[in-house]
Structure 1
Amino acid sequence: MNGALKQAQAAIESASTRDRGRLLGLLGRWRRAPTDAAARTAFETRLQASVRQRETRAAQLPRAEVDPALPIAGKAEAIIALIRAHQVVVVAGETGSGKTTQLPKLCLAAGRGAAGMIGCTQPRRIAARTVAKRVAEELQVPSGGLVGYQVRFNDNVSDATAIKFMTDGILLAEIASDRWLSAYDTIIIDEAHERSLNIDFLLGYLKKLLGRRPDLKLIVTSATIDTARFAEHFGGAPVVDVEGRGYPVEVRYRPLEGDGDDAGERSVLDGIVSVCDEIIQLRGTGDTLIFLPGEREIRDAHQALERRKYRHTEVLPLYARLSAKDQDRVFNPGPQRRIVLATNVAETSLTVPRIHYVVDPGLARVKRYSPRQKLDRLHIEPVSQASSDQRKGRCGRIAPGTCFRVFSEADFESRPAYTDPEIRRASLAGVILRMLSLGLGEIESFPFVEPPDPRAIADGWQQLAELGAVDAQRRLTATGRTMAKLPVDPKLARMLVAARDHGVLPEML
């Protein structure tokens, strides 16, 4: 009987990932009563159904072919071999390497996607949606079928989905209902170099999960910065470097200080309009991509550039809250020359087609926590050299490009090399609350890629105590458990809980 139980344990590996928890439960019941024929039959029936389901799913998977024009095609066989041989692989890919669209297909080629889904996280909703659409087109399958996506308020996934694109926040939310992430046999964390709180939290959680789920594969992708840190975090995981497909990009500095009478008096918007005038006078072909900190700045620039009335030119905005129809206009260029006004959503995963010129004012809206005011504030700050170089790389994809930086070369040289991770500058109250609700222990012992500042941790605990989310023993209160279910800042969550208790929730909303 012991032999039959051992064989049964091994057979679970051939079942679908989402059924393994249930199968282990049925196996445990059979193990406790080895002579119980009903327990054995229940296990075997469920196992056979799950194996059949997996085989059916494997037969439906499309043949994955990598675009030979992309640089990642040259490393395709090596990446497939590493995915098969290692539990974690780090892929360092420059802008234009094709890693975002081709890696899920390489996972299919490595035999993944049959036992469970290949989940691919993106830092932004717009990227998750557009990349899913592109991969579906390349595999010649309908979006929402074998390739789907899920973002907040929009779920385009079916039972047949093998490749699922989603924001990192969606995958985090799934941990609350499924600690084992049993719907997936492979997870790709794309653009990990962005080091948002969500990404750092996922990397820490997955490090703990991989030891308990040897069948799960993880691929971490990053621009070619700091990949050694990710590899070290996962116990010396192999790193594959993929060069970007790039044409030479000329950098021209156009500082606002200027010369003559208007020295030092021009605004950033004046500088952008001046550079656009210069680009139009060059009479070159191709479109222009302008990076701006937020929607308000995009609206101001849109009005200013529309007033210039450039011939045969349309001005298009691109930001996360834009409707899907307006976003698609950016990715399906018409006959006119275009000026695309984008937030840093266009800095990484998204490739806006036909861009020959980039205008970079060198600014971004960054969230920073103020310990004195106990608030997260959105500041407009100079971007790092790495971000500036990412932006520059947007215009060397299809032909030689020109990047206009609306600041001086000395300013660029004085900037930090990399953007500091969000965990170093944001309030940790929300992270601590989420960890307590998931039962992951205390934040001090959690395996972050970089541990947060002890003062920020103490501040987070204090904030939760003041909000009544934790008690004197740092355990979640009933109020804290309700707050943890709300996907908003802890202070806002506490306001919503109080509004409900006082019967004024509609007014609060």
Structure 2
Amino acid sequence: MRDLPVYRHKAEILKALKENQVLIVESPTGSGKTTQLPLILKEAGYDELGIIGITQPRRIATLSICDFIKRQLEIEADNHYCAYTMRFDDTSDATTRIKIMTDGILLQEMKANPYLSNYSVIMVDEAHERSLNIDFILGLLKQITEVRPELKIIISSATINTQAFSAFFNDAPIISIQAGAFPVEIKYTTTYQRKRFMFFEGDYLNIAYLIQNSIENNEGDILVFLPGEYDILQVADYIKPLASKTVVYLLYGRLSKEEQEKVFTPTPDNKTKIVISTNIAETSITIDGIKVVIDSGLAKTNFYNQKNFTSSLESGPISKSSAIQRSGRAGRTQPGICYRLYSQDDFDSKKDFTVPEILRSDLAEVVLRMSELGIYDYEA
């Protein structure tokens, strides 16, 4: 794995980190930033100064990244040198030196250990997602830099809007890394009317037809992005007639850890793997063998309604950056195809970036969360 693009920038990364407290690493899907940066830090001796901490927005990514790093280090599964921590599941102990955790766990640790005194490096991965947790972590880390100049901070993001992170951390340097991904052919369709943000029976049939056609053309394993659990179950039902030719895995937040991990199962001979997922599969995790992506152009996000003072999970159009992330899933190891269930005009009219969660949340909830974390300068 040391031939991945990030590892080839090892000397540049370590030099920048030696000369600066905060470093922004921007790199697209397939560069190896999530799995190779912890190894680079270990080889430079940061594990001897404290824990190398890596945050992830999702549980499934936390698990898969920990397993991948352990395989690279050739350490046994029950060795705690590299461990993961998430709600109700903690494999770390006093010997842990590389710790992959959900971002919510780091926030909880910051309550009891506000200066993160047992860490030598904190790497915030997938920072471009701009969830409330990520924004709170970034704000708290900036405060810590004033007290602990020896703590190194890496903000890892896809190649979108990294200048904002640099400006926030007093013009921190940015290292841009190209992924060298394989080409992905984009195929738009006008079959779907994107003025509405929900699916009907005809939509599920059309997706099933696309899947069937892709299998008949031997295009490869398929990843389908849909907005929610109901849509995923509907499409899975419509492709049951293809069962003799396929293995189908579902991926959404409510599934157990064991069910989610099934997506990493190698594809049997003479079968096509089909993964039907929400935006969980958009970043961080790598599902080997994916050559075809079917992108609905939709995702469910939480919005606060100022008229009736309620928050709800609503299906809506994704941003350009999310669409690019999704198509990139098809070009990780070989050339691929992305079927976008919307037109080129729909893509061109999308917002460049996903609206940060803090801008679509109930401000009362945001203030309460900030108070809980000991942040009282609400206007800053």
Shared fold (TM-score greater than 0.5)?
yes
| Secondary structure class of the residue paired with 2:48 | coil
The CA RMSD over aligned residues, in Å, is: 1.7
Which residue of structure 1 lines up, in the alignment, with residue 3 of structure 2?
Answer: 69
Which residue of structure 2 lines up, in the alignment, with residue 130 of structure 1?
Answer: 64
Name the CA distance, whole Å, in 1 between partners of 2:310 and 2:168.
Answer: 31
Q: Is the 8 A contact 2:57 2:126 kept in 1?
A: yes
Q: What residue identity is the alignment partner of 1:299? A: L
Which of these residues, 196, 219, 223, is aligned with residue 131 of structure 2?
196
> What does the per-residue CA deviation read over 1:277-302, in whole Å, with 9 as the maximum and x for residues that have no partner?
22122123x20000111222211111
> What does the per-residue CA deviation read over 1:466-505, in whole Å, with 9 as the maximum and x for residues that have no partner?
xxxxxxxxxxxxxxxxxxxxxxxxxxxxxxxxxxxxxxxx
Name the CA distance, whole Å, in 2 between partners of 1:407 and 1:266.
Answer: 17
| Secondary structure class of the residue paired with 1:394 | helix
Can you give the 5+ residue segments of structure 1 that lack an aligned partner in the other structure? 1-66, 259-263, 446-509
Q: What is the CA distance between 1:323 and its match in structure 2? A: 2.5
> What does the per-residue CA deviation read over 1:285-340, in whole Å, with 9 as the maximum and x for residues that have no partner?
x200001112222111111111x325421111122332333223211213121110
| Secondary structure class of the residue paired with 2:116 | coil
> What does the per-residue CA deviation read over 1:415-447, in whole Å, with 9 as the maximum and x for residues that have no partner?
1111111111111323312322343223113xx
Q: What is the CA distance between 1:125 and its match in structure 2? A: 0.8
Which of these residues, 149, 155, 170, is aligned with residue 214 of structure 1?
149
Name the CA distance, whole Å, in 2 between partners of 1:277 and 1:374.
Answer: 44
| Secondary structure class of the residue paired with 1:120 | strand
> What does the per-residue CA deviation read over 1:384-415, in whole Å, with 9 as the maximum and x for residues that have no partner?
11100100000011111000011111111111
Higher helix share: 1
Which residue of structure 2 lines up, in the alignment, with residue 231 of structure 1?
Answer: 166
Name the CA distance, whole Å, in 1 between partners of 2:249 and 2:200.
Answer: 28
The runs of at least 4 aligned residues of structure 1 exceeding 4 Å deviation read: none
Which of these residues, 325, 344, 351, is aligned with residue 258 of structure 2?
325
| Secondary structure class of the residue paired with 1:95 | coil
> What does the per-residue CA deviation read over 1:68-97, in whole Å, with 9 as the maximum and x for residues that have no partner?
331112211111222222110100011000
> What does the per-residue CA deviation read over 1:236-273, in whole Å, with 9 as the maximum and x for residues that have no partner?
11111111131111011123259xxxxx9874323311
Structure with bigger gyration radius? 1
TM-score, reference length from structure 2: 0.94
Larger RCO: 1 or 2 (CA < 8 Å, sep 6+): 2
Q: Is the 8 A contact 2:192 2:341 kept in 1?
A: no
Q: 1:437 to 1:396 in 2, by over 3 A?
A: closer
Summarize the alignment of residues 86-125 of structure 1 with structure 2, pairs less than 5 Å apart: 86-125=20-59
Which of these residues, 319, 336, 340, is aligned with residue 275 of structure 2?
340
| Secondary structure class of the residue paired with 1:358 | strand
Alignment partner of 1:393 is 2:328: yes
Which residue of structure 1 lines up, in the alignment, with residue 196 of structure 2?
Answer: none
Q: What residue identity is the alignment partner of 1:69? A: D
Which of these residues, 127, 140, 144, is aligned with residue 205 of structure 1?
140
Name the CA distance, whole Å, in 1 between partners of 2:373 and 2:223.
Answer: 42
Which residue of structure 1 lines up, in the alignment, with residue 308 of structure 2?
Answer: 373
Q: Is the 8 A contact 2:25 2:175 kept in 1?
A: yes
| Secondary structure class of the residue paired with 1:420 | coil
Q: What is the CA distance between 1:160 and its match in structure 2? A: 0.6
Alignment partner of 1:245 is 2:180: yes
Q: 1:265 to 1:86 in 2, by over 3 A?
A: closer
Name the CA distance, whole Å, in 2 between partners of 1:257 and 1:172.
Answer: 41
Alignment partner of 1:422 is 2:333: no
Q: Is the 8 A contact 1:255 1:405 kept in 2?
A: no
Name the CA distance, whole Å, in 2 between partners of 1:267 and 1:390.
Answer: 27
Name the CA distance, whole Å, in 1 between partners of 2:275 and 2:247.
Answer: 8
Q: What residue identity is the alignment partner of 1:183? A: N
Q: 1:381 to 1:173 in 2, by over 3 A?
A: same
Which residue of structure 2 lines up, in the alignment, with residue 17 of structure 1?
Answer: none
Q: What residue identity is the alignment partner of 1:151? A: M
Summarize the alignment of residues 456-467 of structure 1 with structure 2, pairs less than 5 Å apart: none
Which of these residues, 98, 118, 121, is aligned with residue 186 of structure 1?
121
| Secondary structure class of the residue paired with 2:24 | strand
Which residue of structure 2 lines up, in the alignment, with residue 296 of structure 1?
Answer: 230
Alignment partner of 1:316 is 2:249: yes
Which residue of structure 2 lines up, in the alignment, with residue 81 of structure 1?
Answer: 15
Q: What is the CA distance between 1:120 and its match in structure 2? A: 0.3
Can you give the 5+ residue segments of structure 2 that lack an aligned partner in the other structure? 194-198
Aligned residue pairs, count: 372
Q: Is the 8 A contact 1:83 1:107 kept in 2?
A: no
| Secondary structure class of the residue paired with 1:97 | coil
Q: 1:438 to 1:415 in 2, by over 3 A?
A: closer
TM-score, reference length from structure 1: 0.71
Q: 1:176 to 1:357 in 2, by over 3 A?
A: same
